[in-house]
Structure 1
Amino acid sequence: MSLRTPTVRALRSAPRYISQPQLSSSSRCRHLTTSRRTLSPGRSLSEEGKEPLDAVTLHRLEAARRAYYKRRSYYAGVGFVLGLVGIYVTATWAPLPGKTEKMDSGRQNDPLVVLGKERKVVIQKLGEEPEEIPDVVETGTSTVPTFPRVVEFFDDESGVIRQDDPGMVEYQLMGLGIRTVSFLGVQVYVVGMYIATEDIAVLQKVLIRKIDPTATTLVAGEKEKLRDLLLDPVTGEEVWSQILKESGVRTLVRIVPTRNTDFHHLRDAWVRSITARAQRNKEEFGDEAFGAAVSHFKTLFNRGSVPKQKELLLLRDVKGKLAVWYDDGKSGAQRVGAVDDERISRGLWLNYLGGKTVASEPARQSIISGIMEFVERPIGTVATQVHEVNV
């Protein structure tokens, strides 16, 4: 036993000489690293030499990483959508600054009488039985759902309302539409254009003679020709400008906001439109009188807020004078003021009727459609076929 023990120990402690090819120092390093990495198949060591991770743990860590980035993308998407919703809600519902100020008139009379609230509207066409039609027209928005088809308004020619002889003038709706702004299509107000019933024949005659100088009515093909004429960016503006300047037709523009706005916001948009047209025609609009009229127009709207569903009325008389009325829903409609220069009202009306771009394309299309109903009937018959029947 004593002889075998040293022999075994000697064998165990003896160096082992294994025949290996000669390797360079760099090759030996790579060889050692490879050996170290493949020492335990299916397991790896971290760079700091910590406990190696098995395949299951690596799979779980990878799944957790993917879930983390997926949650981040979900949160980013939800935040983007909520941001857009917040912008829309703020633009649609947030009230604009400014307080409603008392008008300079002090009148307590309400000049607007909506016939639809008290009467039915019946149309009597030639050779046909009387036909009852709705007394209101749908606007397409739930905030201001309808507009009256027929209204009455005090004759504002003198600027004074006389209690003994108010001089009511009846107006019929030609068309209406919604004014929208920004790429989100935020609704600002509903605008409707009315014409004095007594002046419809004048408008019929002018428009029909634009197509056929001897006709008293237009047929289908001629109506489409007139429609194209009025929709043309250049010719349409010229036709409307001539009608407004020379015909003496009394018209009324009724504006009801669908969101809280203010006089400054409305005024600035109108002034930009008026001045842009003036820049294109300096020969007619380049004098000092027009500049003074624009300044006076601005002062009329140097006021506070216009809450939604309240009523702003713009009246154009036979001479083209512009009168502005506002009803805040508390003290009745009050006269804000007037501008005598007819170029102001003409430029304001053209903002809805003619040119390459208008304030409300749906309103222009609706007005032209209403005109097509006028010109398809003989001149002078439209005013006589509309009757209001007391309910």
Structure 2
Amino acid sequence: MAAPTKQAMRLLSPRLQCLKHQQTSACTRQIRCVSGRYSNPTKRTVSTAPTGISSFIGSASAESQPVHNPMDIRANRLEHEEKRQYHTRRMRFAGMGLLLSMGGMVMILFNLDLDGIDQAEKKRRGQQLDASSEANARFQGKEVHVIGAGEDKRIVAQGNGENIELVETGTSSVPHFPRTIFLPSSPDSSTAASATGLIGIAPPNTPQNPGNAANQEEYTLVGLGIRTVMWIEVYVVGMYVRTVDITTLQAKLIHSVNQSASTLIPAEKEELRKRLLDPEQSREIWSDILKVPGIKTAWRMSPTRNTDFGHLRDGFVNGINARKAEARTLTSGGETEYDSEDFGQAMQSLKAIFTGGKAPKQSILILARDNVGVLDVLFQPKPSESGKQKEMELLGSVSDERIARLIWLGYLAGAKVSSPPAREGVVAGCVGFAARPVGSVETRVI
């Protein structure tokens, strides 16, 4: 047995020596690595995760990222912080996208023209509709015709033996406004007019009171514009003045620039335009025009989308509050005529008029201010499908002249007005009136 054992040991000896050599080399490398890591602190190296900003498209693959010691606490903390920031940014951007999507959906639904969609659906099904072309458009059940072109162009609605001259508004939702309208005379104002020598109720269709068979007074358009909130069209609004009061309006406008003139030359017309657009001077001019007893004026409003009285009321109240704030500024914060208890009661009366009720697209709301400052609120519902015009009804009145005065100033004077396009339209009409000699009544607005 001794000889085979010795023979086996000789055969295994080279293999044992090889294994021993490999074990010795591994130990030597481990000792050298440990000695290099901890014996010289300046040569220590720590593999950490990259601190660059991660991309939302995807992070780098695991093969391209440096390998770090899983026992390194600082590296683990940095990697965790980077991942937390990455996911936080993703959540923020996702939240912003969700909010923008919801806001866009709300705006689309708010601006959605249901009437237009309904008409398009009917047209697709072959139903007969009024064409949107100029020749087939209708106004109050009457066909609209365009006569002439350029500056001499006239738009007339003809039907039932009547011709109504129209003015383009600039929006397809409410394309036309009448150049003249007829409003009922106020019994209270007629009594006051008789006492002061002003024109009150007279026989209809006379030089003293041009009107219709119902003895309503004629009003002439001064200017119009579109009321917008942000970029959304709310309604078209136009200012009218009683036709027999145009002479008084002409005189006040002309004398605000030149006391001795009967008409304005081009340079003076430009000066009047600047004053009517200036915040301070416009307030002075219109405050003088709106003095009582004075002239009769009215605002005609037609919504471009379905709304309600509550929204319209809030717009009027905001305009009144803005003018009250301006008046308080002019008195350096002192008490004004709008701080009294009776004015507060008048405000409540105004709000009560607009309690409840709908104001659909193309309905008509009129705010009429008589010669003693009484405010009448009239409403005419949207015409029926056949185009038949419905009767106008009186919603209520406010006797305190300060209410109507502040609403008027909210559209015409001050630094910020309810509708800048409407003020510009009224200013253009006033300059056109002032360019004509006093006493010449012209119903066409330049």
Same fold (TM over 0.5): yes
SS in 2 for 1:88: helix
1:318 and 2:348 aligned = no
1:114-263 correspondence runs (5 A): 117=142, 131=152, 133-134=154-155, 135-157=165-187, 166-181=214-229, 184-246=230-292, 248-263=294-309
Other-structure match for 2:34: 26
Q: Structure 1 residue 362: deviation in Å?
A: 0.9
AA of the residue aligned to 1:326? F
AA of the residue aligned to 1:233? P
Other-structure match for 1:362: 421
CA distance in 1, matches of 2:37, 2:184: 104
Structure 2 gap ranges (5+)? 39-44, 46-62, 71-89, 115-138, 156-164, 191-200, 205-211, 329-334, 385-389
Structure 1 contact 176–363 (Cα < 8 Å) conserved: yes
CA distance in 1, matches of 2:417, 2:15: 103
Other-structure match for 1:338: 397
Structure 1 contact 115–152 (Cα < 8 Å) conserved: no
AA of the residue aligned to 1:149? R
Structure 2 contact 283–413 (Cα < 8 Å) conserved: yes
CA distance in 2, matches of 1:87, 1:43: 46
CA distance in 1, matches of 2:30, 2:184: 115
Structure 1 contact 93–260 (Cα < 8 Å) conserved: no
Other-structure match for 2:315: 269
CA distance in 2, matches of 1:159, 1:245: 14
AA of the residue aligned to 1:151? I
Structure 1-normalised TM-score?
0.70
SS in 2 for 1:234: helix
Match among 339, 343, 348 for residue 407 of structure 2: 348
SS in 1 for 2:355: coil
Q: Report Cα offsets for 1:157-180 as digits up to 9, x if no partner.
A: 459999996222222211112222
Q: Report Cα offsets for 1:301-360 as digits up to 9, x if no partner.
A: 223222222111111112221111111236521111212222111111111000111111
Structure 1's 321 and 310: CA in aligned 2 closer, same or farther, altered over 3 A? same
Alignment size in residue pairs: 332
CA distance in 1, matches of 2:345, 2:426: 31
Match among 7, 11, 18 for residue 10 of structure 2: 7
Structure 2-normalised TM-score?
0.62
Q: Report Cα offsets for 1:240-294 as digits up to 9, x if no partner.
A: 0110114622111111112222222222332233244345254433434323322
